[in-house]
Structure 1
Amino acid sequence: MPVSMPLLAGLLAALAAIGPFAIDTYLPAFPAMGEALGASRIEVQQTLTAYMATYAMMVLWHGALADRFGRRSVIIISMLGFAAASMLCAFATSIEWLWLGRALQGMCGGAGMVVGRAVIRDVLDGAQAQRLMSRVMMIFAIAPAIAPMIGGALLHVAGWRSIFVFLALFSAGLAWATWRMLPETLPEHARQSLHPVSLGRGYLQVMSSVAFVLLAGTLALNFNGFFIYVLAAPTFLIEHLGLGSSEFHWLFVPVVLGVIGGSMLSGKAAGKLSPGRTIALGFGIMVIASAANLVHAATMPPNLVGSILPIAVFVLGMSLAMPSLSLMVLDLFPARRGLVSSCQSFVQVGLNAVSAGLIVPVLWATPLTLAAGMGVFLALGLASFVLWGLLVRVRAR
């Protein structure tokens, strides 16, 4: 059945929000989970790694499965699987069981984001696609702000296990909403084979493309420059800024405002500025924010305004550039948008998983090391985009 663009944007944003909800909602509960399960801070931190490692592995398949069986069925089955995994987390009796539940959540949690991007490009193109992508991001941006607040409230009212019960109900509701409201956007004649040879050729074609690696790398590196603060939030907010477990909104609300602002600017720029200029403007904002973050961390003691405002401005620039970058990646291989979206998510989440397990535990020592980490990831993302531009010019000659 036909679905309105606002309804489609809301549903796709909610499906994409499973990812940040699976990460942000339970962050305030880290100390409580460690105490209840007899686990150290590093062991609790590894529940993030378990989630993102399997997330990165499985996103390589969500898009290929959606290219073969259609968009709706992959989303519905994945959301139901996420609900079951969330209940396993809710009843975990040891940190090992929690690791297992989080790993199973990760296997299902990426379908909404991966397949949702393909749905947008199935139904729209050009400036219209950029506007819908921006609208989805703007609605999706609410998730990181409300997730830790919901988690904090549930923690104080019903304990940390109730957070995973909430995630189970949320994902089951999304499975129902997808079944009822999302039309199938991939016709039968456009579906791709899952034959190992055909599929292998598809993955090889995408992952060996220099243009794909550079554009997907740009997205992943920019996002990771901000995401290290999400991964380090319990230490950054509680230890460095002296906030409580129910005060995570001091970071996430400004970040959401940044995402909303950047997404709105991207939507207004669609059809007026070229994608390249929109991306360049986003990078300019991110460079200013990262420089301010470094200067403040090096010269001033941690405080709410000086430590958090640069992060929000960085996210504004990131969100301005992201819709155009995402569409450019999908358009590299129009016949395999689901698979391309999977590969893009694999690059991004793979980097996030490495950061969660190896990089962030080193960077969270001080606000200055976190600010330096943001600067390094941004510099690498900018270099990747510049190299892509040079590649385009060389091929155009």
Structure 2
Amino acid sequence: MQKAPAPSGAFAFFEPALGVDVERATKGSIWLLLVVLAALSMLGPFSIDTPFPAFSRMGREFSVSTDDMQLVVTAYMLAFALMSPFHGPISDAVGRRPVMLAGLSMYAVASVGCALSTSLPMLLGFRVLQGLSAGGGVIVSRAVIRDMFEGAEAQRLMSRVTMIFGVAPAVAPIVGGWLLTMGSWRAIFYFLVGVAVVLMALVIFILPESHPRERRTAFTPSAIFGGLVEAGRSPAFHRVSWAASLSFAGQFLYIGAAPIFVMDLLGKGEQDFWMFFVPMISGVVLGSWISSRTSGHVTINRLVSAAMAFALFGALVNLAFAVIPATQGLPYAVIGPALIAVGTGASYPALQLTLLDMFPGSRGATVSLFTFFTLVLNGSMAGFVAPHVTGSFAQMALMALALEIVAVLFWMSHLRHRPGAGGKLMRPKVHPVPTPSGQ
């Protein structure tokens, strides 16, 4: 294998010729990598949550109802889902960075279109373009950690990315509300243009290419779709994917319906979304911290089983609060979703790594197909299910409980079929990768 030029700067520890492992990397270098990857992942929640406080203003301007405004979420998420099977396989063939940069460029253009929209159909069209392009950064960034790291270290770093990323859904609606005080709802989408430009700069100047030429697949339809077909035909992939997706859907039901939950059910205003998102995201961060702290000490199977059981417990608590008149409101209404978030925050990083380890030769395709399932489910939740179960706290809580129960059943099925999978404690290890200059 040809040696890459000697790297410099923050990512010098990824020099292929040295074979340096993670213990020799500086903490500052690792955290810089994590911050960049988390920032790329944040594009998703920022795209969904930042416009929430503006829904009422946008609805009045476009003369549409609150339920119609839920299509702003659904259009983005279903378009994201439609394109998600392709981002990863293409990155397996051409590298991670080119796909990220192409996606971010198109996303910036789409955000300008959203800001200039004069009707709901026009806005939805540009939201579709946003969704088609956002996965270039969001999806592909998830494969980078598994490209570089293995075992307990991969779980630890994936959990830390989730912790940093978890702040975004809490911050995004607060930023959106603040931007509304400064002027029109259109400022929110110009803000997203700025986010895309900053992310492009991070990819260009900081992020190394983690998938070098010698590991890439051929850029042909058979190679691109082969990884998707391989994963899609695997019963184990489906069991783990649906366990993760359905468990997260119990939490996302509240995120996707946040305008209805906060403004209609709780009776709060445009500046009050933090009352829901801060407890929810605190749960995600706590769960991710638990996942990070237990990596290398608790098997993946045991961690996921305990975390999903806790999410189910949170859903039961949520339903109890929702049906008792004295607890139908703040602060009780946000406790249950926060408890569910602790469980999903602890299980999600481990479940993603379980899927990536099933198909090491096509990680991009694997994460893409998993993302497709998750987004179709959550997009359907936001656009088609939420309007029918947001009439009361009890309806939402009952739906969340049903999702958590089915998720646990999928995971139990996986354990019965593959009891040894995820049962080992792996030693941390890092894959050497070239720097951007050696791409």
Does the pair score TM above 0.5?
A: yes
Matched, 1:256 2:281: yes
Decide which of 360, 372, 392 is 2:398's aligned counterpart: 372
Please list the CA deviations of residues 300-320 of structure 1 after superposition, one character each: whole Å capped at 9, or x if unmatched: 252112110111111011111
Decide which of 123, 127, 133 is 2:158's aligned counterpart: 133
SS of the residue 1:110 aligns to = helix
Matched, 1:167 2:192: yes
**1:26–1:343 distance in 2 versus 1, CA, 3 Å:** same
Decide which of 307, 324, 335 is 1:282's aligned counterpart: 307
TM-score (norm 2): 0.88
Question: Is the Cα contact below 8 Å between 2:248 and 2:344 reproduced in 1?
Answer: yes
**1:110–1:200 distance in 2 versus 1, CA, 3 Å:** closer
Decide which of 317, 320, 323 is 2:349's aligned counterpart: 323
Runs of 4+ in 1 over 3 A off after TM superposition: none
**In the alignment, what sits opposite 2:359?**
333
CA–CA distance in structure 1, aligned partners of residues 142 and 395 of structure 2: 34
CA–CA distance in structure 2, aligned partners of residues 290 and 115 of structure 1: 31
CA deviation after TM superposition for structure 1 residue 63, in Å: 0.2
SS of the residue 2:70 aligns to = helix
**In the alignment, what sits opposite 2:333?**
307
CA–CA distance in structure 1, aligned partners of residues 171 and 408 of structure 2: 30
Decide which of 400, 404, 410 is 1:384's aligned counterpart: 410
CA–CA distance in structure 2, aligned partners of residues 205 and 285 of structure 1: 32
CA deviation after TM superposition for structure 1 residue 394, in Å: 10
CA–CA distance in structure 2, aligned partners of residues 102 and 375 of structure 1: 30
Q: Which has the higher helix share?
A: 1
Which residue type is aligned with residue 94 of structure 1?
A: S
Question: Is the Cα contact below 8 Å between 2:304 and 2:351 reproduced in 1?
Answer: yes
Decide which of 137, 140, 155 is 2:180's aligned counterpart: 155
CA deviation after TM superposition for structure 1 residue 241, in Å: 1.0
**In the alignment, what sits opposite 2:79?**
54
Matched, 1:345 2:345: no
Decide which of 30, 36, 48 is 2:61's aligned counterpart: 36
Question: Is the Cα contact below 8 Å between 2:90 and 2:224 reproduced in 1?
Answer: no
CA–CA distance in structure 2, aligned partners of residues 63 and 300 of structure 1: 47
Question: Is the Cα contact below 8 Å between 2:309 and 2:408 reproduced in 1?
Answer: no
**In the alignment, what sits opposite 2:264?**
239
CA deviation after TM superposition for structure 1 residue 198, in Å: 2.9
List runs of 5+ in structure 1 lacking aligned partners. Answer: none
CA–CA distance in structure 2, aligned partners of residues 198 and 10 of structure 1: 32
Within 5 Å, give how 1:174-193 maps onto structure 2: 174-193=199-218
**In the alignment, what sits opposite 1:210?**
235
Question: Is the Cα contact below 8 Å between 1:76 and 1:176 reproduced in 2?
Answer: no
**In the alignment, what sits opposite 2:427?**
none
Please list the CA deviations of residues 223-250 of structure 1 after superposition, one character each: whole Å capped at 9, or x if unmatched: 1100010111111111111111110000
Max Rg structure: 2
SS of the residue 2:93 aligns to = helix
CA–CA distance in structure 2, aligned partners of residues 392 and 266 of structure 1: 21
CA deviation after TM superposition for structure 1 residue 38, in Å: 2.1
Please list the CA deviations of residues 53-81 of structure 1 after superposition, one character each: whole Å capped at 9, or x if unmatched: 11001111110111111011111111111
Matched, 1:25 2:59: no
Which residue type is aligned with residue 191 of structure 2?
A: F
Question: Is the Cα contact below 8 Å between 2:284 and 2:345 reproduced in 1?
Answer: yes
CA deviation after TM superposition for structure 1 residue 371, in Å: 0.3
Please list the CA deviations of residues 259-284 of structure 1 after superposition, one character each: whole Å capped at 9, or x if unmatched: 11111111110011111111112112
Q: Matched residue pairs, number?
A: 396
Which residue type is aligned with residue 198 of structure 1?
A: A
Question: Is the Cα contact below 8 Å between 1:77 and 1:175 reproduced in 2?
Answer: no
Decide which of 110, 132, 143 is 2:168's aligned counterpart: 143
Please list the CA deviations of residues 18-64 of structure 1 after superposition, one character each: whole Å capped at 9, or x if unmatched: 00000000001101001112222232211111101110011111101
CA–CA distance in structure 2, aligned partners of residues 371 and 393 of structure 1: 32
CA–CA distance in structure 2, aligned partners of residues 363 and 299 of structure 1: 18
Which residue type is aligned with residue 270 of structure 2?
A: S
CA–CA distance in structure 2, aligned partners of residues 153 and 230 of structure 1: 19
Identity of aligned residues (%): 35
List runs of 5+ in structure 2 lacking aligned partners. Answer: 1-6, 12-28, 422-439
